[in-house]
């Protein structure tokens, strides 16, 4: 299948999240969406976290205290990272002080929605990556930002498992190869260093089945939250490969946000 490569313009802001099991190819779809719609970018909470820690911002230092003790970074801290990023990009048209918004978010009420308003300019379009993963997080995020498209990516479990079971890793760099997708040039050998690739113990099929089941459970509530807000918000796209999925999500974004 050939993918059309011509880029398209958006006429209003797209604020997208991709929901899909590990191994379904969310990263691939994000990259393809950004190529197709150059006004889209990715805001990845993992990256924001790493940058803030590296630059020793107050938020980064605060987050680090949780990371050092092996705990999860609490939702309000993640929301704060997103808020900071959006306001430094000037993508929130009006906003109260960060402290007031975070305080409102922390109380779990909706008053922040009256002080933070996302821009509707198509140049403020993005795919939010890494958050929200649960319905509770989605609820908290909704006070800050109206997500307007949720793309649920679905591949058969057996297809995902065979993909995951074929993962080979270069341990010292973390480079991942997928047999049948992005094969190493020489089987079992890292392209750049020539060192041996390994398969992780925790990449066993049984472990992945458990992870996928867990994912199904949390994502069910997340999707339900968005469906309850607007029955047209969630679009389910199925395919056995990234090439089957891409044209469908391109068409959906085009239909909703295209010129
Ligand atoms: C997708 O994968 C499933 C499960 O392996 C298989 O039954 C089905 O025929 C595949 N569909 C296509 C279009 O290849």
Best residue among 156, 161, 165, 239 to mutate for probing ligand 1, ranked by most atoms within 8 Å of CB: 156
pLDDT(129) > 90:
yes
| Residue 228: DSSP 8-state | H
Residue nearest to atom 13 of ligand 1 (CA): 240
Where is 41: in which H helix or E strand?
A: strand 41-44
Between 236 and 77, where is the model more confident?
236
Q: Atom 9 in ligand 1: which residue has the minimum CA distance?
A: 240
Ligand 1 within 6 A of CB of 161: no
| Higher per-residue confidence, 113 vs 21 | 21
Rounded Cα–Cα distance for residues 104 and 107 (Å): 5
Averaged over 60-67, what is the pLDDT? 91
The DSSP bridge pattern shows strands 175-178 and 117-118 to be: unpaired
Greatest mean pLDDT range, 167-171, 203-207, 246-250? 246-250
Atom number, ligand 1, closest to the C-alpha of residue 158: 5
Banded model confidence at residue 40, pLDDT cuts 50, 70, 90:
very high
Show the tokens assigned to 98. Answer: 């960060």
Q: Domain boundaries in the chain?
A: 15-253
Q: Is the Cβ–Cβ distance between 114 and 86 less than 8 Å?
A: no
Location of structure tokens 């995951």: 164
- pLDDT of 146 > 60? The answer is yes
pLDDT above 60: residue 109 = no
Query: Would you say the CB of residue 110 lies under 6 angstroms from ligand 1?
Result: no
CA 78 from chain centre, in angstroms, equals 13
Task: Report the 10 Å Cβ neighbour count for 153.
Answer: 22
CA dist., res. 184 & res. 191, Å (int): 6
The protein residue whose alpha carbon is closest to atom 11 in ligand 1 is 240
Distance between CA atoms of residues 84 and 222, nearest Å: 24
| Candidate from 61-75, 112-126, 219-233 with smallest mean pLDDT | 112-126
Q: Specify which residues 127 forms β-bridges with.
A: 16, 42
Band (34; pLDDT cuts 50, 70, 90): very high
Q: Is the model more confident about 108 or about 138?
A: 138
Tell me yes or no: is domain 15-253 CATH 3.40.50.300. Answer: yes
Where is average pLDDT lowest: 49-58, 85-94, 109-118?
109-118
Q: What is the pTM of this model?
A: 0.84
pLDDT of 115: 58
Reply yes or no on whether the pLDDT at 98 is more than 60: yes
Report the alpha-carbon distance of residue 133 to residue 147 in Å, rounded: 13
Residue 95 pLDDT exceeds 60: no
Whose tokens are 């107050």? That residue is 58
For the annotated binding site for GTP, the residues are: 23-28, 167, 176-177, 242
| CB-count exposure of residue 72 (10 Å: 0-12, 13-18, 19+) | exposed
Instruction: Please tell me the distance between residue 145's alpha carbon and the centre of ligand 1 in angstroms.
Output: 37
Tell whether ligand 1 has an atom less than 6 A from the beta carbon of residue 240. Answer: yes
Q: How confident is the model at residue 1 (pLDDT cuts 50, 70, 90)?
A: very low
Q: Which atom of ligand 1 sits closest to the CA of residue 156? A: 4
Is 256's pLDDT higher than 80? Answer: yes
Cβ(159) – ligand 1 distance below 6 Å: yes
Residue 10 has a pLDDT of: 97
Are residues 235 and 151 in contact, defined by beta-carbon separation less than 8 angstroms? yes
Residue closest via CA to ligand 1's atom 12 equals 240
The whole-number average pLDDT for the span 82-92 is 89
Cα(126) to centroid of ligand 1, in Å?
A: 31
Q: Exposed e or buried b for every residue in 113-130, given b needs 16+ CB within 10 A? A: eebbebbeebebbbbbbb
Distance CA 48, CA 84 (A): 10
What is residue 106's predicted lDDT score, i.e. its pLDDT? Answer: 63
Q: Does residue 192 sit in helix, strand or coil? A: coil
Tell how far the Cα of 103 is from the centroid of ligand 1, in angstroms.
Answer: 49
């Amino acid at each position: 299948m050939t993918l059309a490569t011509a880029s398209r313009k958006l006429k209003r802001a797209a604020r997208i999240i991709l929901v899909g099991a590990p191994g379904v190819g969310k990263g691939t779809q994000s990259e393809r969406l950004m190529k197709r719609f150059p006004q889209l970018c990715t805001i990845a909470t993992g990256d924001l976290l790493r940058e803030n820690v590296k630059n020793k911002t107050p938020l980064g230092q605060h987050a680090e205290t949780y990371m050092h003790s092996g705990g999860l970074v609490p939702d309000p801290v993640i929301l704060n990272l997103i808020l900071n990023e959006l306001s430094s990009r000037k993508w929130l048209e009006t906003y109260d002080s960060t402290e007031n918004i975070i305080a409102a978010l922390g109380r779990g009420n909706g008053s922040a929605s009256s002080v933070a308003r996302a821009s509707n300019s198509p140049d403020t379009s993005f795919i939010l990556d890494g958050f929200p993963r649960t319905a509770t997080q989605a609820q908290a995020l909704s006070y800050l930002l109206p997500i307007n498209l949720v793309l649920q990516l679905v591949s058969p479990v057996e297809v995902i498992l065979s993909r995951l079971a074929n993962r080979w890793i270069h341990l010292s760099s973390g480079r991942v190869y997928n047999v049948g997708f992005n094969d190493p040039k020489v089987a079992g050998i890292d392209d750049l260093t020539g060192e041996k690739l390994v398969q992780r113990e925790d990449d066993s099929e049984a472990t992945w089945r458990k992870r996928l089941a867990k994912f199904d459970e949390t994502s069910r509530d997340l999707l339900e939250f968005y469906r309850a807000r607007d029955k047209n918000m969630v679009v389910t796209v199925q395919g056995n490969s990234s090439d089957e999925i891409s044209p469908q999500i391109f068409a959906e974004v085009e239909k909703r946000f295209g010129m």
